[in-house]
Amino acid sequence: MGAPALFANLGAEEGEGWPRMAAHPRVRAAARLWTGLFAAGARAVGPAAPPCDGLLAPFDADPLPAFGFCDAGEQLFPWLATAEAGEWARRERLPLASASPEVVARVHDKGFALAAAREAGLEPAELAGVALALAPDELDTADAVRCRVEAEVARWPEPLRARFVLKPRLGTSGRGRLEGRGGALDPEALRGALPRFRERGGFVVEPWLERIEDLSAQLWIGADGAPVVLGTVRQALTPGGVPLGHRGELAADDTVSSGSHWDEELRVAARAVGRAAAAYGFRGACGVDAFSYRGPDGRERLRPVVELNARFTAGTSALGVLARAQRLGLLRGRRVFHLGVAPGLAEPSAERLALLAGDPDTALWLA
């Protein structure tokens, strides 16, 4: 069986400019980590293609992929299946190892995750029916959009109106958001943001909540359409939503879990959204983001579905590193891990297992 080709289009949600984002050292390190999911001999193609060798020194002797689904022979694996990825597959004369770009675009849309969560009854009680998704053809003039959004926010429970956010329906790492305060939007800021929102599939309007912990579940949806939870993790994010890394725990049976007391609810919700995506024909790796937050009464709540990333994710890569480390016997009974940006995110006594080549601030830390 031949080796796959890898199309590392990280940031492709941002449109044709993604190669510029992919050239950033942190994004390039994430792309190299992703290539480590695949068997020895995999090759990267396309613009900003990362090298596929020398990623993690302890793994050099291990030619096997992290997961069985990464061993699919001569196919082109994209990070995100887009029309451009399909073009590269045709150029390489390889089948695209994913659902069609049309299906992926449908379920990768934040509006899809909102509808799926609503249909499955997964919204917290105080958020039920609150969020609103608008499509590009609903974004006419800035004044009309502002009036519609502000009228929608005005009917929310009073505690939710203080701060809210408009998020592109197709976007990554918190990019392109617009905030509103006190039930109102800045007219000029909205006017400037509307072209970007139209290009990114419209936007979702939702309250800004006091987050306590960010979580995600990583899934694989195979040919039978049944979502399998690969593992759950805690996400380390900047205040703006830019990912810094992942943390979690290894159970005695080597199951990877976030360690959060919300973990089982997260898994149940992720499977429900995975089934909804599978019903539209989606197959492949994906991730469901969630977070816990402080409710109006001060108690912690879980928002179990924030978005569905219908692609490989940094969480998939993190679980792949752990799978290979477990297979090679490198964990030596350790039960807590952190994969990501090292400074300030690990205890001083933690052991650095391996560095990503070319990025000394990124490592797998074990406590």
Condensed to tens digits (0 to 9), the pLDDT of residues 3-21 reads 899 999 999 998 888 998 8
Q: What class is the 124-207 domain?
A: alpha beta
Is it the case that residue 189 has pLDDT exceeding 50? yes
- Residue 306 is predicted with a pLDDT of 96
By DSSP bridging, strand 43-45 and strand 5-7 are parallel
Distance between CA atoms of 308 and 109, rounded to whole angstroms? 8
Of the pLDDT bands very low, low, confident and very high (cuts 50, 70, 90), residue 358 is very low
* Percentage of the chain lying above the pLDDT 70 cut: 87
- Residue 3 is predicted with a pLDDT of 84
Is it the case that residue 96 has pLDDT exceeding 60? yes
Is it the case that residue 157 has pLDDT exceeding 70? yes
pLDDT tens digits along 99-110: 999 999 999 999
Among 71-75, 165-169, 255-259, the least confident range: 71-75
Three-state secondary structure readout of the chain: CCCCEEECCCCHHHHHHHHHHHCCHHHHHHHHHHHCCCCCCCEEECCCCCCCCCCCHHHCCCCCCCCHHHCCCCCEEECCCCHHHHHHHHHCCCCECCCCHHHHHHHHCHHHHHHHHHHCCCCCHHHCCCCEEECHHHCCCHHHHHHHHHHHHHCCCHHHCCEEEEEECCCCCCCCCEEEECCECCHHHHHHHHHHHHHCCCEEEEECCCEEEEEEEEEEECCCCCEEEEEEEEEEECCCCCEEEEEEEECCCCCEECCCCCHHHHHHHHHHHHHHHHHCCCCEEEEEEEEEEECCCCCEEEEEEEEEECCCCHHHHHHHHHHHHHHCCCCCCCCEEEEEECCCCCCCCCEEEEEECCEEEEEEEEC
- Residue 359 is predicted with a pLDDT of 47
Query: What is the average per-residue pLDDT within 54-62?
Result: 64
* Percentage of the chain lying above the pLDDT 90 cut: 64
pTM of the model: 0.91
Q: 211-366 adopts what CATH topology? A: D-amino Acid Aminotransferase; Chain A, domain 1 (3.30.470)
Where are the chain's structural domains? 5-98, 124-207, 211-366
- Residue 180 is predicted with a pLDDT of 97
